[in-house]
């Protein structure tokens, strides 16, 4: 008998492939194809074949350190595109716009992806002097308000791994390049629940960020909201006056991440 190529079989293969992607991103460490086989109840040849295909397509890739599977560049781009698209069409952009109107400063909604901060959405200030970034822009994790926020809320083991492998590139004279000093500042950020960038990434630009706690999610903070302004217009002490507004916006944004009833 010839090989069947029914739409039903194609649908089944697609379901299994999507299951592999979903299971891969949900694991706390990079899983192997054999582990995914056990986890999903797939035959080992099927798990290896689909994993290989997904790697060839760029949706998955091998982790250089462990050899397990991690999200590939194509999957990361797709995820960010989905987030950006939904943000512009949904209530999150309206919340950012209201915050920008209230504070008079640029507002960013950022996520942690592949060890960097990626802007999911952004509302620019109406002032002529501002900082211009596009949605999808990536900024470092060790010297930005959002980046340090994500680092501070990581589980201890994960944060230790990050600090042990991060290259603390100096961008300005205020950039912290001492891991022990950075770690001490992260402890303070976690305690206070607010993170600052005092011209550490771009000279003359200050930022402040707070976490967005996603309901029913454990394992650290991966989404945050921030405002940024030139030092010529705002000091850090003046920026602190906006903490209540920033936290209120973060609380509203957390509701947009809840599963619909």
Which of 25-29, 85-89, 226-230 shows the highest mean pLDDT?
226-230
Answer whether residue 129 shows pLDDT above 70: no
DSSP, res 260? P
What is the mean pLDDT of the segment spanning 219-236? 88
pLDDT tens-digit map of 79-97: 766 766 665 556 888 999 9
Average pLDDT, the chain: 85
What is the mean pLDDT of the segment spanning 170-195? 94
DSSP assignment of 19-40, as one string? HHHHHHHHSSSPPPHHHHHHHH
pLDDT tens-digit map of 137-152: 788 999 999 999 999 9
Distance CA 55, CA 116 (A): 22
Answer whether residue 185 shows pLDDT above 80: yes
Sheet of strand 223-230, all strands in order from the earlier edge strand to the far edge:
138-139, 116-123, 106-113, 223-230, 205-211, 195-198
pLDDT tens-digit map of 155-168: 888 888 888 888 89
Quick one: 166 exposed, middle or buried, by C-beta within 10 A (0-12, 13-18, 19+)?
middle
Q: What is the dihedral of CA 9, 15, 18, 22, to 10 degrees?
A: -150
Answer whether residue 240 shows pLDDT above 60: yes
Stronger pLDDT, 148 or 260, i.e. the higher one: 148
What is the mean pLDDT of the segment spanning 70-84? 76
Over its C-alpha atoms, the chain yields an Rg (Å, rounded) of: 21
* pLDDT score for 134: 58
Cα–Cα nearest to 170, from 206, 137, 196, 203 = 203
* pLDDT score for 133: 58
Q: Is the pTM of this model over 0.85?
A: no
Stronger pLDDT, 172 or 76, i.e. the higher one: 172
Answer whether residue 128 shows pLDDT above 70: no
Quick one: 261 exposed, middle or buried, by C-beta within 10 A (0-12, 13-18, 19+)?
exposed
Answer whether residue 42 shows pLDDT above 50: yes
Residue 197 structure tokens: 């960038």
Domains and CATH numbers, the chain: 7-71 (1.10.10.10), 74-255 (3.30.450.40)
Stronger pLDDT, 8 or 208, i.e. the higher one: 208
Residue 153 structure tokens: 């809320």
What is the mean pLDDT of the segment spanning 55-69? 87
Cα–Cα nearest to 117, from 161, 148, 93, 94 = 148
* pLDDT score for 245: 96
């Amino acid at each position: 008998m010839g090989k069947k190529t029914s739409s039903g079989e194609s649908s089944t293969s697609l379901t299994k492939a999507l299951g592999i992607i979903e299971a891969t991103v949900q694991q706390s460490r990079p899983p192997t194809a054999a582990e995914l086989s056990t986890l999903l109840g797939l035959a080992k040849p099927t798990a290896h074949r689909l994993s290989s295909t997904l790697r060839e397509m760029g949706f998955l890739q091998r982790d250089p350190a462990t050899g397990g599977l991690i999200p590939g560049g194509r999957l990361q781009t797709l995820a960010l595109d989905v987030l950006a698209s939904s943000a512009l069409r949904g209530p999150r952009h309206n919340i950012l716009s209201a915050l920008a109107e209230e504070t008079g400063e640029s507002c960013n909604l950022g996520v942690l992806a592949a060890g960097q901060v990626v802007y999911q959405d952004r509302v620019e200030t109406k002032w002529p002097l501002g900082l211009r970034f596009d949605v999808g822009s990536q900024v470092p994790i060790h010297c930005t308000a959002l980046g340090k926020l994500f680092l501070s809320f990581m589980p201890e083991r994960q944060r230790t791994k990050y600090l042990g492998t991060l290259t603390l590139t100096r961008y300005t004279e205020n950039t912290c390049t001492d891991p022990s000093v950075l770690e001490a500042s992260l402890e303070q950020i976690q305690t206070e629940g607010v993170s600052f960038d005092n011209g550490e990434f771009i000279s003359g630009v200050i930022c402040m960020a707070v976490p967005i706690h996603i309901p029913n999610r454990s394992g650290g903070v991966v989404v945050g909201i921030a405002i940024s302004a030139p030092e010529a217009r705002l000091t850090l002490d003046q920026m602190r006056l906006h903490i209540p507004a920033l936290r209120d916006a973060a609380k509203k944004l957390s509701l947009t991440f809840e599963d619909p009833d």
